[in-house]
Amino acid sequence: MEINGLDLISAAKTLGAGLAMIGVIGPGIGIGLVVQGALNAMGRNPDASGQLTTTMILGIAFAEAVAIYALVIALIILFVM
């Protein structure tokens, strides 16, 4: 079995893209914690649910931006380089 340069480059690209997607773990945990905190607060004070929902969605959007950046980097590694 021979490994040529193109196979090695393809394997390195795939490995690099997979490693770039490790950056999705943090935002996933963060979004879960944000939603958990908001739901606990809504359970304690249902009257404040409107304001909590707005703040929760804003926090989720900021956390999700990091995951989208990791996805963009992985796609750049796979298809551009």
Taking only the tens place, the pLDDT of each residue in 10-61 is: 899 999 999 999 989 999 999 999 999 999 999 999 898 889 999 999 989 9
Give the chain's domains with CATH numbers: 17-79 (1.20.20.10)
pLDDT at residue 1 in the model: 73
- On the CB side of 40, CA atoms within 13 Å amount to 6
Cβ-Cβ contacts under 8 Å for 49 (sequence gap 6 or more): 42
Specify the pTM. 0.77
Going by the DSSP 8-state scheme, the letter that residue 48 receives in this structure is G
> How many residues does this entry show for the chain?
81
- Cα-to-chain-centroid distance, residue 31: 9
